[in-house]
Amino acid sequence: MVKLMMSTLSGMIVLLCSLNLAIAAPSNIQESSRHLYDRVMEEYKHRDYTAALAGFRFFLELHGQSSLAANAQYLVAECQYRLGRYKEALKSYYHVVSYYPLSPKLAASTLRIGQTYTRLKDHEKAHMMYERVVDQYPESAEAETARKVLDTAPMQEEDPTPQRISNGSLD
């Protein structure tokens, strides 16, 4: 718990310093935007998803119109997913798909929506999203992953309850 708090505090200090840069040099917003994004990305790479989540949300508040906004929104969803916050992640992945229609993260977000539905045990919606990935992004790595899931899906949909074998007598 203390480690988590220290990590979050450390991330917030970095963010505040980055904010200072954004205020001090308004003519250089793109550079400060990239600097903040890169700093938060370090937290993500170190698997400090709580700090990275706070950082990417902060980034979006400051630089929601930047060229990195779609990636930041996708990474918000990734942090939520990796923290097991599947319902929040689902909303965030849908946000990428809905508000960033030209993002290179569309295929990945759509696949992750399917994976998130799988985690939430909504196999029907998951199946639909995997099919969407294959249909809309057929040449992508995500489509290959979706195809593999769809190929194994019938096995997952079978009734996992073992059948009771009768010995011929009436119970």
Residues 107 and 144 in one domain: yes
Residues 97 and 144 in one domain: yes
What length is written for the chain?
171
How many domains does the chain contain in total?
2
Q: Is residue 171 part of a domain?
A: no
Q: State the CATH number of the domain containing residue 112.
A: 1.25.40.10
pTM score above 0.85: no
Residues 134 and 100 in one domain: yes
Q: Which residue in 106, 68, 114, 71 sits closest to 90, CA to CA?
A: 114
Q: Is residue 133 part of a domain?
A: yes
- Side chain identity, residue 142: E
pLDDT in tens, 98-147: 999 999 999 999 999 999 999 999 999 999 999 999 999 999 999 999 99
Q: Is residue 162 part of a domain?
A: no
Residue the block writes with tokens 């929040």: 88
Q: Is residue 72 part of a domain?
A: no
pLDDT in tens, the chain (171 residues): 555 445 554 555 554 555 554 454 444 767 889 999 999 999 999 999 999 999 999 999 999 999 999 999 999 999 999 999 999 999 999 999 999 999 999 999 999 999 999 999 999 999 999 999 999 999 999 999 999 999 997 654 444 444 444 444 443
Q: Is residue 166 part of a domain?
A: no
Structural domain boundaries enclosing 56 = 8-67
Q: Is residue 160 part of a domain?
A: no
Q: Is residue 129 part of a domain?
A: yes
Which residues fall within 8 angstroms of residue 89, CB to CB, at 6 or more apart?
A: 77, 78, 80, 81, 112, 116
3-class SS of residue 2? helix
Residues 53 and 93 in one domain: no
